[in-house]
Chain A
Amino acid sequence: MNDSKNYTPPEKVKMLAVSTTIWLITMAIAAFGPALLWNNQTSITLLAIALNLLAGLFVIKSNFQHWNSLDEMIQRVHLNAMGIALGLGIVGGLSFSLLETSDIIQTEFDLSFMVIVMSLSYLISILVGMKRLQ
């Protein structure tokens, strides 16, 4: 018999990687373009943001297809990781926000902190989940 279904099917991973890269590029263009490329022209900025949104939808679709291509155990590992990442992001983000609005901490809340926390917790949760099932 041939090799079994891969842990992550290469073609779906490639599609996810390509769509995420495109999304990141459009994000960088939308973030830095107004000041560096088109001198804050609103119409071009709106177009850049629309392109970024479109690329984001493509990422969601690719992510969904990737998840569907995984087998049931790996799907469960990813689902657990998503739950942990979402929980930590919401609970941690809101706690941080409360600390800030109560003037207990002076650091301004930045959405990117939450994105980093959620991404790292998702990654770590997948690694721990796979390790536990080995």
Chain B
Amino acid sequence: MKNRLKVLRAEQSWTQNDLARALDVSRQTVNAIETGKYDPSLPLAFKISRLFELPIEDIFNDEQD
């Protein structure tokens, strides 16, 4: 699954650590989501959506590599 997390984070000038703190997950998890190696659970996806005030489909899309 592709996502725009890295771009959205950069727009806020946040580090991976900052985002991890805001989402209450580890920095490793943020990195794995950004690089597409891990797909977040639905609750975490909603949390990301609320944080960036964007619909989930504007952040994630199920287009395969």
Known: A74-B26, A74-B29, A132-B37. A5 touches B21 (CB 8 A): yes
Q: Is the CB of B25 within 8 A of A5?
A: yes
Q: Given the interface contacts A1-B17, A4-B17, does A73 sit within 8 Å of B32 by beta carbon? A: yes
Interface size on B, residues (CB 8 A): 22
Within 8 Å CB of B41, what residues of A? 72
B27 at the interface (CB under 8 A from A): yes
Cα A11 to Cα B25 with chains together (Å): 16
Q: Is the CB of B29 within 8 A of A72?
A: yes
Nearest CB on A from B58, distance (A):
22
Closest to B19 in A: A4
Instruction: Name the CB-closest residue of B to A3.
Output: B17
B interface footprint on A12-52 (CB within 8 Å = 1, 0 otherwise):
00000000000000000000000000000000000000000
User: For the complex, is B38 an interface residue (Cβ under 8 Å from A)?
Assistant: yes
Report the bound CA distance from A103 to B29 in whole Å. Answer: 49
Known pairs A72-B41, A132-B37, A133-B37; A4 contacts B32 (CB<8 A): no
Question: Quick check: is A100 within 8 A (CB to CB) of the other chain?
Answer: no
Task: Check if B31 sits within 8 Å of A4, measured CB to CB.
Answer: no
A residues near B44, Cβ cutoff 8 Å = 72
Q: Are the CB atoms of B28 and A7 closer together than 8 Å?
A: yes
User: Within 8 Å of chain B (Cβ to Cβ): is A60?
Assistant: no
Tell whether, in the assembled complex, residue B28 and residue A134 are in contact, meaning their CB atoms are under 8 Å apart.
yes
**20 further A-B pairs in the complex, CB-CB below 8 A; given A72-B25, A73-B26, A132-B37:** A1-B14, A1-B18, A1-B21, A4-B20, A4-B26, A4-B27, A5-B21, A7-B26, A71-B24, A71-B29, A72-B40, A73-B25, A73-B29, A73-B32, A73-B38, A74-B28, A133-B37, A134-B28, A134-B32, A134-B37
Residues of A within 8 A of B (CB): 1-7, 70-74, 130, 132-134
